[in-house]
Amino acid sequence: MTLKSTCKLSRPSIGSGQQVKGLPMVGRGENKAPKRSGGSLGQPVPRVAVSDLMGAGREAVLVHDGFDYRLRLTSNGKLILTK
């Protein structure tokens, strides 16, 4: 017995490297963004441990341009920054 498929796709399949509506499609895990090695003019970027900001707590308030931003550590160990 032979089965014949009559299914037709209503949209084209998208492969890696093709573009759809101006957006490049890349494969999983690929990062095409340029790598940055430091701050402006080759200066090293300051590194601050989150524990230094939060102390024993799970939140810190960062002040930028007169606004308070809250940096929170979730129960899953992720960081969330909100205004």
pLDDT in tens, 54-81: 999 999 999 999 999 999 999 999 999 9
For residue 78, give the CATH number of its domain: 2.10.70.10
pLDDT of residue 64: 95
CA-wise closest residue to 73 among 65, 83, 56: 56
Give CA–CA dist 83/73, Å, rounded. Answer: 15
- Per the domain annotation, does 13 fall within a domain? no
**Domain enclosing residue 64, as ranges:** 48-83
- Per the domain annotation, does 7 fall within a domain? no
> How many domains would you assign to the chain?
1
Specify the amino acid at residue 58. R
Q: Are 38 and 44 in contact (CB under 8 A)?
A: yes
pLDDT in tens, 31-49: 555 555 566 778 899 999 9
pLDDT of 19 strictly over 70: no
- Per the domain annotation, does 9 fall within a domain? no
